Structure 1
């Protein structure tokens, strides 16, 4: 594959060099009336699909142009569109500059008062590295922006936002502790600002939405982001940064189950010249549950400082602190041998007074961006993350045939340390009639996760079992646990340790006036991983990526993609051979379209992901031997449809559907616990979501609006063991939400009612070792009321 890539690239470069001097380009700068550069201005050539976006210095460049006359159009939210005519000469750079009639101060007012509510995004953040409009990227990428988060009253990463992405579902979860999202048949990777922040299956801590700007979902392997990881995809949480505008927002939320929340967002300048900027987000909440004795109190502070060293260089320092005080993290589940949903929706095993879980989560980030020119940009960033958890997890030691049980509590102290660094370069140049977009960079990471589950306490005794049908939630007969944390966790806990370095190179070649785009890329990764005291497993691998995207019209593109991923794993093979990493490849076809001046967008994709070498317990060895065999092969395939945006004036819409089929397609000889054709657990075969928000556009009732949402999940698979009763399956999940809102000027009030039909909703599985079903219920009908004011 590397030889083919090199040969094709050399051939193209040689051919294009012959035509290099026959093309010209247009470059220039956009400034305000008082001489300050303006970023994110759209600069297009009228009547074509070619264009650019101004960088932080206000500069832009459009290359690969045939000689002739062009009309250059500059547009910016809240401003009149400006046009200028220019003549391009072969081998020359034509210069055209724009000056916005508003001063910097006027522009701030335009940005504040002109804030739109539109769910559609046409580009991803710079932390995703892809410097192309979404419609041109040969992959299904969905962006959830702040407008959508506010309208749906999403307050944390685990708070129902997956409804906005086709096929995304939450896997087995611990309330609002971890997010754990599944798509395309497997758990996808969690990232923040371009860093992979996964250190174990149980992390990271759910982000509070107070400091989140947007969330970007990338389906399938993504070599331009991931050095290693599951081939099903990733989500990238993008945090809020200073905008250079003096503005702010304060919001208050109250809701069912004693939810009380306040958030403040301040954005402005620390120097009159605008070189030193700040952003400060602070939030605090108290929240209980529909189950007795549960609580989840969160406090967040996220200060950000940006300093423009010179017009082309920006340095940003960011710190995020999240504090969580939660009830025991195992309390969300209930257990019964009688089948799913056989206990009341509010059923719990959590006794009053049980010691809770305390979490401190620190994140440090420094980011440097330097524009060498309008078309060449260097980004370097480093992050250090420190997570500490001290608590417990309640789980049954046994469940009797009559439903009574012995409740037990194990310690769950955890420590995570991650130090990560990246440097990458985005560039653009032309050779003849071919435009090249270059992405190259280096990723490095050192991660360690310690967890102590070894301390144990029985709450109940034989003869004094807990009875879920007649629950007593007072002090347990054996009292409460009192675990010893005096010894540092690094000295007594099992460890997951991972180190890697990775290099990536991508060239997107565009032909025929950028109408056809060929992506050739590859990533080389060297990684070492050790788990639970075992010897480290090392792996080095080259992963190619080939993509093709073609613009059928200026607003419609079709694409094809082949991409690979791999994920190291730890274990001991019964054969004594070295453990191979999980390898996977993705083949994807799709079509994207922007509708009505990019007000809304649709994406249709079909895919097939194949994964090999995943470990499973060796069936020919004792259960406690710790020996494994490589399973064989899993295949996930499916269909996805996403619609997002403003389809009519005042009507914002999210609509998506996904069909997913994930099965074992090859089984290693000797493995009998899994058969060829078995379904992979932890996903739903059919997922349908929609969210509609309509606001009256004029008249006496202008600003009044209504919202409605629907989620349906069918063909859901349990997470662990198959049920011994074929009639006991997870039923179709149907959830209806509705709301009303009113906005006037900078003031907005929003009321949403969730689970409007008061359905009994849950997810769960069967545990063979307990001979019992377990499930976690969603809240019954509940409501949230938010009041916000922008200033």
Structure 2
């Protein structure tokens, strides 16, 4: 009987599939630009339906499983008139159409980035990256995490799994609401829309509801954006108006009393289509696997774009993010005997600690002007204002006679910070005989002024037993806030100005590309302890890229970096900046006309002027007693060598994948303590391997059903805060996640389950005579429903 039932079910599915094939048809076609180049990356839509497709490297596209009838195929481009074509779909047949855009291939870049959310893979960088070439032609390893991928994995902010999609990128422990991302042996800079928004402990991590894509740039890139670490940076690109009227609502529920709602509205405010808008709103309440812990957030991001004419556009963007948590540092756990010795749900906090509130506001203005078909001028300015009122958690130490007893402390942590940034740059293309030149030049300035008050603290109750905790008896200390935070806080100040120029020379019909670039940077830094410092340096860049064929390229790069080195020595003398040198070779290839691509790179980075402990000069307290800590001196050097492999895109029909691997050998090569020479650099992992596979059925009775599975694997992890090497190394890390999804026309469902194996996962390090770590939740789930209109 069971066999008969299974046979009938199978026959039913086959019949349904055959019927669907017989009653539906397809639309295929090709899109080219005004200069007769394939319009790769353009999104094609079937009007009044949820059907869409993306043109491949040849400009080809296909829309499948369309019910018979008459339709309008639409190509909508920001700042230009929509292109429409009427088609008739016949059952069992394919209708062929074609489009020719009014833009050249060069002009198409910004439009594609804004509109393309249809794939795990893209071949174009955003306009905020300044570059005029495709990712395939750029002599550098750049990986893009698309909005489609972020949505598929249900990533809600930078603290959740974004790094799994990029080779060698890991997130290590840090304060609540701040993402500390490590690549190639060191912490990388946080950028937003091409501007360096990194601060001493920030910035407040972006909610993904406002994010179009995240671009990870490996290696230094000061020539085109701003001063940054030689390991690279990540650039968060926020959503901008697309010129097409549409919207999406999302609702999510999940483990630990998580409730979340989002709305994304996109359209035109004027009949002539010159005034465009985008509005993203998010609200979230979320508990935690730890007692008393929570993170409630909201964000509002309105954007206006005015198309003055066909050459000039002005964009204004306002962002407000608000977050409140129990206390900063509530995710830290401490123990004397080793890591992971208390349950994942353990906390040192109490339920009666006043909430810590964070307000992050910013304004971005962008002016774009197309001088002619070959030259474009862009200016953008941003102002950030960050305010925080709350407190942090730590421990004063353990009872010397009892490893179970700790003294908890609660300290004030108020912040007032402002960041002002401005950038102006010129992009152009000229041809001299058989040589083409893509020219970039510009000015980049930044000024960040932050006041932190952590001057007041007190014990949180009496001695506390971490293995038999009793809550509800402790009273948090009170703090004096009668003075403005400017008057009671410690000032951290840094600023830079840079002039840069780049010329990409193309030979042999642009098959061979030589990049020559340089940047002159002046750094200013200071705080209440060290006074001010000022340093300047010219950093050159040389890159070579060769297209073996239309889909394959190899490259070489040598670049330098020049970044701040905060702090001072025992004589209160400020440190010189860190100087970095990067050498890299790589190989890139698009497969199946761009449906998926692969990138392999090998590199070596040298960092000089790295801070090391000064054992000859200990730090004393106000009573003249040693604190157990020491001053620093800048005699250190670190060298990082590695190999990275990235694969992303649609390998076979219906199967999108992200597969990456990184081998990173980051070692200390010079140190004030000879015993540290040869040790692994803090915060690095020697082997990192990730995968995410998504299979979606695109025909038959199960059309729209998808299943995903992925894992993150890290081997030989070094703690971020470590003193003397491998004896404090963290255990290997393995986490597996999965999801089930269904998309039916305009409505979508997605169930994601994280940490399927319910492992005790954590990151941390040794501190004084004990250990600290942050534990991730065990198995947890979130379910989302979205509706597009």
TM range (shorter): 0.7 to 0.9
Instruction: Tell me the alpha carbon deviations over residues 102-123 of structure 1, each in whole angstroms, 9 at most, x when there is no partner.
Output: 49xx99xxx9xx9763100100
Structure 1: which 5+ runs fail to align? 1-39, 56-71, 83-96
1:718 Cα deviation from its structure 2 partner:
1.4
Instruction: Report the equivalent of 1:785.
Output: 783
How far the C-alpha of 1:551 sits from its partner, in A, is: 0.4
Does 2:436 correspond to 1:446? no
Alignment partner, residue 645 of structure 2: 641
Match of 2:321 in 1: 322
User: What's 2:190 paired with?
Assistant: 190
Q: Whole-Å Cα distance in 2 between the matches of residues 689 and 42 of structure 1?
A: 36
Quote the Cα distance in structure 2 between the aligned partners of 1:150 and 1:724.
Answer: 39
**Is residue 2:273 matched to residue 1:274?**
yes
Q: d(CA) in 2 for partners of 1:131 and 1:76? A: 24
What RMSD over aligned residues (CA atoms) do the two structures have, in Å?
A: 2.7
- 1:497 equivalent among 493, 496, 519: 493
The residue aligned with 2:18 is: none
Aligned to 1:32: none
Q: In structure 1, how many angstroms separate the alpha carbons of the residues matched to 2:501 and 2:340? A: 51
Q: Distance in 2 between matches of 1:611 and 1:218?
A: 18
Deviation at 1:414, TM superposition (A): 1.1
- 2:290–2:347 Cα contact (<8 Å) kept: yes
Preserved contact between residue 193 and residue 237 of structure 2 (Cα < 8 Å): yes
**Cα distance change, pair 41–460 in 1 and its aligned pair in 2 (3 A):** farther
Q: 1:164 corresponds to which residue?
A: 165
> Following the alignment from structure 2 to structure 1, what is the Cα–Cα distance between the partners of residues 41 and 600?
30
1:252 is the counterpart of 2:251: yes
2:633 to 611, 629, 633: 629
**Is 2:719–2:764's contact at 8 Å kept on the other side of the alignment?**
yes
Q: Is the 2:647–2:660 Cα contact (8 Å) retained in structure 1?
A: yes
Distance, in Å, in 2 between the alignment partners of 1:165 and 1:337 is 35
Q: CA offset at residue 609 of structure 1?
A: 0.5
Change (3 A) 1:45 1:314: closer
- The Cα offsets for residues 662-717 of structure 1, whole Å up to 9 and x where unpaired, read as 111123xxx22752212111121111100011011211111111000111111011
Matched, 1:522 2:521: no
Residues 312-339 of structure 1: CA distance to partner in whole angstroms, max 9, x if unpaired? 1000000000010111111101111111
Distance in 1 of aligned mates of 2:726 and 2:267:
61
How many Å separate the matches in 1 of 2:35 and 2:58? 6
Contact preservation (8 Å) 1:422, 1:444 = yes
Does 2:342 correspond to 1:338?
Answer: no
Asked if 1:472 is matched to 2:470, the reply is yes
Following superposition, the deviation at residue 52 of structure 1 comes to 7.8
User: How many angstroms does 1:43 deviate by?
Assistant: 2.8
8 Å CA contact 1:537, 1:570 repeated in 2: no
Return the alpha-carbon distance in structure 2 between the equivalents of residues 334 and 73 of structure 1.
Answer: 54
| Structure 1 pair 180–239 and aligned structure 2 pair: CA distance change class (3 A) | same
Please list every run of 5 or more consecutive structure 2 residues that lacks an aligned counterpart in the other structure.
Answer: 1-29, 43-56, 64-71, 87-96, 100-111, 622-629
User: What SS does the aligned partner of 2:136 have?
Assistant: helix
| Pairs within 5 Å for 1:678-717 | 678-717=679-718
Q: Which moved more, 1:496-505 or 1:780-789?
A: 496-505
> What residue in structure 2 maps to residue 582 of structure 1?
578
C-alpha spacing 1:735/1:497, structure 2 compared with 1 (3 Å) = same
Equivalences for residues 283-432 of structure 1 within 5 A: 283-400=282-399, 401-432=402-433
Q: Within 5 A, what are the aligned runs for 1:641-790?
A: 641-667=645-671, 671-672=672-673, 675-722=676-723, 726=727, 729-768=729-768, 771-790=769-788
Q: 1:350 and 1:442 mapped to 2: Cα distance?
A: 47
CA distance in 2, matches of 1:750, 1:74: 31
Number of the residue aligned with 2:565: 569
Shift of 1:628: 3.4
Indicate conservation of the 8 Å contact 1:749/1:787, yes or no.
yes
Say if 1:179 and 1:458 are closer, same or farther in 2 by CA, change over 3 A: same
Q: In structure 2, do the counterparts of structure 1 residues 374 and 447 end up closer, same or farther at CA, with 3 Å as the change threshold?
A: same
Report deviation, 1:649. 1.4
Deviation at 1:622, TM superposition (A): 2.6
Q: Are the aligned partners of 1:654 and 1:691 in contact in 2 as well (CA < 8 Å)? A: yes
Could you report, residue by residue, the CA deviation over 1:417-449 in whole angstroms, capped at 9, with x for unpaired residues?
A: 011110011111100101100010001111111
Q: Distance in 2 between matches of 1:578 and 1:699?
A: 68
Q: TM-score scaled to structure 1, two decimals?
A: 0.85
Q: How many Å apart are 1:77 and its aligned residue?
A: 8.7
Kindly indicate whether the alpha-carbon contact (under 8 Å) linking 1:349 and 1:473 is maintained by their aligned counterparts in 2: no
| Larger displacement relative to structure 2 (374-383 or 254-263) | 374-383
Match of 2:234 in 1: 235
Compared CA separation, residues 577 and 318, structure 1 to 2 (3 A): closer
Q: Secondary structure at the match of 2:122?
A: coil
Partners of 1:542 and 1:353 in 2: how far apart?
53
* 1:174-199 deviation per Cα after TM superposition (whole angstroms, max 9, x unaligned): 24x10110000000000000110112
Looking at structure 2, the residues matched to 623 and 158 of structure 1 have their Cα atoms a distance apart, in angstroms, of 34
Tell me: CA distance 1:585–1:624, structure 2 relative to 1, closer, same or farther (3 Å). Answer: farther
1:121, 1:143 within 8 Å by CA — same for their partners in 2? yes
The 1:44/1:619 distance shift into structure 2, 3 A limit, reads farther
Cα gap change, 1:116 to 1:501, in 2 (>3 Å): closer
User: Does residue 152 of the first structure (1) align with residue 153 of the second (2)?
Assistant: yes
CA distance in 1 between partners of 2:286 and 2:81 (Å): 51
Provide the rounded CA distance (Å) in 1 between the counterparts of 2:149 and 2:294. Answer: 26
Indicate how the Cα distance of structure 1 residues 261 and 636 shifts in structure 2: closer, same or farther if over 3 A, else same: same
Q: Report how far residue 269 of structure 1 moved.
A: 0.3
Q: Decide whether the 8 Å contact of 1:495 with 1:532 is kept in 2.
A: yes
Contact 1:723 1:766 in 2 (8 A): no
Conserved? CA contact 2:117–2:146, under 8 Å? no
Q: Secondary structure at the match of 1:614?
A: strand
Give the superposition deviation at 1:475: 3.2
Deviation at 1:732, TM superposition (A): 1.0
Identify the residue that residue 7 of structure 2 maps to in structure 1.
none
Pair 723,222 (structure 1): closer, same or farther in 2 beyond 3 Å: closer
In 1, Cα distance between the equivalents of 2:281 and 2:479?
A: 33
The aligned counterpart of 1:63 is none
2-structure distance, mates of 1:620, 1:653: 53
Deviation of 1:209 (Å): 0.7
Q: In the alignment, is the contact (CA less than 8 A) between 2:317 and 2:364 conserved in 1?
A: yes
State the secondary structure of the residue aligned to 2:707.
strand
Matching residue of 2:49: none
CA distance in structure 1 between the partners assigned to 2:502 and 2:61 by the alignment = 30
Cα shift at 1:742: 0.4
| SS of residue in 1 equivalent to 2:157 | coil
- Residue 447 of structure 2: SS of its match in structure 1? strand
Deviation at 1:415? 1.5
Equivalent pairs counted in the alignment come to: 700
Q: Deviations over 1:127-177 (max 9, x none)?
A: 0111110000001100001000100001111111110000111122224x1
Q: Are the counterparts in 1 of residues 582 and 604 from structure 2 also a CA contact under 8 Å?
A: yes
Q: Distance in 2 between matches of 1:53 and 1:782?
A: 39
Contact conserved, 1:446 with 1:498, CA < 8 A, in 2? yes
**Matched residues in 1 for 2:345 and 2:522: separation?**
49
Q: Which residue of 2 aligns with 1:612?
A: 608
Q: What SS does the aligned partner of 1:510 have?
A: strand
TM-score calculated relative to the size of structure 2: 0.85
Aligned residue in 2 for 1:91: none
8 Å Cα contact 2:291/2:345 also seen in 1: yes
Deviation string 1:193-237 (CA, Å, 9 cap, x unpaired) is: 01101121x100000111110000001101234432211100000
Residue 43, structure 1, aligned to residue 33, structure 2:
yes
| Equivalent residue, structure 2, for 1:221 | 220
Helix, strand or coil at the partner of 1:454: coil
